[in-house]
Amino acid sequence: MFKALLFVLCLTMPAFADQPVQEKQLTADQQQLVEKIENYFNSIRTIKSKFYQSSDNGGSAQGDFYVSKPNKMRLEYQPPHPIEVVADGYYLIFHDKKLEQVTYLDLDDNPAAMILKENFSFKTDDLAITGITTEPGEISVSVIKKSQPSAGRITLIFKDKPLALKQWRVTDAQQITTVVTLDNVEINTSLDSQLFKFKDPRKKGRPGDIPRRR
C-alpha cells in the first residue's frame, strides 16, 4: 500500500528499468500546443481541488489537493486512508498518520514537480515528451525525466478551450494504470500557508530528526 501510493502520486519510485529515452519529434502544431501548456502552468499561482483516484486493480480513494507555487503541495486522503503528502518547498513528504511513518523525497527527482515550478519549461526542466495526442475537447501529454527515466512516467490530460488540467495517469511495472482526476478546481485563490508546513510526528521536540536539504 505504501509503495503503491508513492508511485500513484508520481513520487520517486523506480518502476521502469533505465533505458534510452525515446523523445517524440514534435510537429509545428504540437510545438505550439506544448508552448500553450507551458504558458498555462506558468499562469497558475495556486490550485485548490478535490481529487478522485482509481486504478485497474479496483483500488480507489479521494481527498483534497492544494498547490502553492513555487514547490508547495498538499494531498489529503479521506478515510479510511490515513495518508497525507506535503511538498514544503524543499521535500516531498509522505506521511502515514496511522503508523507515524514518514518518508522524505527530493522534489527535483520526480516528474510531478513540473506542476509546482514557478517558471516551467519542458526543455529546461529536463523532461522528454514521449507522446502527445489530441481528441475533441482533450489533450494528453506523456513525459519522462531525461536524466532519471526510472523515476516514473506521467501522462497529463487537459481539457481544451479553455485549457485546464483535469487528470494525470501513471502506469506501474505490472502495467496497472492509475488515474487521478481533479474536480471543483479553483485557480489562483488564496490558500493558508499552514497547509504546506509539515510537523514530523517523530521529532517530538528533539532536533535532528528532520533531514536538512544540502
78-100 pLDDT tens trace: 998 888 899 999 888 989 888 88
Q: What is the pLDDT of residue 81?
A: 87
- How much of the chain exceeds pLDDT 90, in percent? 41
User: Quick check: 71 pLDDT over 90?
Assistant: yes
CATH number at residue 132: 2.50.20.10
Q: What is the pLDDT of residue 107?
A: 80
Domain-embedded: residue 209:
no
119-159 pLDDT tens trace: 888 887 778 899 999 999 999 999 887 776 665 678 999 99
**Are 104 and 91 in contact, with CB atoms under 8 Å apart?**
yes
pTM of the model: 0.80
Domain-embedded: residue 177:
yes
106-116 pLDDT tens trace: 887 666 677 88
User: Quick check: 211 pLDDT over 60?
Assistant: no
User: Quick check: 9 pLDDT over 70?
Assistant: no
What is the average pLDDT across 46-55? 93
What's the number of domains the chain is made of?
1
Domain-embedded: residue 204:
no
What is the average pLDDT across 160-185? 85
User: Quick check: 35 pLDDT over 60?
Assistant: yes
Domain-embedded: residue 202:
no
What is the average pLDDT across 24-53? 93
Domain-embedded: residue 82:
yes
Q: Note down the domain range covering 163.
A: 2-10+22-187
Domain-embedded: residue 49:
yes
What is the average pLDDT across 172-184? 81
User: Quick check: 205 pLDDT over 60?
Assistant: no
The number of CA neighbours under 13 Å toward the Cβ of 138 is 9
Domain-embedded: residue 70:
yes
Could you write out the DSSP letters of every residue in the chain? -HHHHHHHTT-S---S------PPPPPHHHHHHHHHHHHHHHH-SEEEEEEEEEETTS-EEEEEEEEETTTEEEEEEPTT--EEEEEESSEEEEEETTTTEEEEEEGGGSGGGGGG-SS--TTTTTEEEEEEEEETTEEEEEEEESS-GGG-EEEEEEETTTTEEEEEEEE-TT--EEEEEEEEEEES----GGGG----TTTTT-TT-SPPP-
Average pLDDT of the chain, as a whole number: 81
Q: What is the pLDDT of residue 8?
A: 45
CA dist., res. 75 & res. 87, Å (int):
9
Domain-embedded: residue 200:
no
Q: What is the pLDDT of residue 212?
A: 52
User: Quick check: 50 pLDDT over 90?
Assistant: yes
